[in-house]
Amino acid sequence: MAFFFGQMNHELRPNDFRSETWKRLTNALEAELERLRESNDAQSLGVTDTAVIRGQIKAVKNILALGQQPSASDRSRPENFPVGTLVELQELGLDPLN
């Protein structure tokens, strides 16, 4: 599994998500997600502040999603192919969208 932050590409392995560190990080992120949601719901925020909090919520969710293994049916859906795979298939005359 690869993920990108800026110009960096990091490879994560399934065992990375079984570690005690990942479990502690997940707990901290879930607590932060709850705090952000409460902050967003409890306050009368302006458009900009609301957008900032929603962006933070999305970022936390994206990190948490790294630990979720896609099901076989999810992996077979074209929109979940690794970047470039769909184009490569189409160049070979194989179009999974049709």
- Read off the pLDDT of residues 67-90 as tens digits, 9 standing for 90 and up: 886 655 555 565 565 555 566 666
Reduced to 3 states (helix: H, G, I; strand: E, B; else coil), residue 5 is strand
Mean per-residue pLDDT for 4-32?
Answer: 80
- CA 80-8-49 angle, 5° bins: 75
**pLDDT computed for residue 73 by the predictor:** 53
Mean of the per-residue pLDDT values of the chain? 76
Residue pair 85/51 in contact (Cβ under 8 Å)? The answer is no
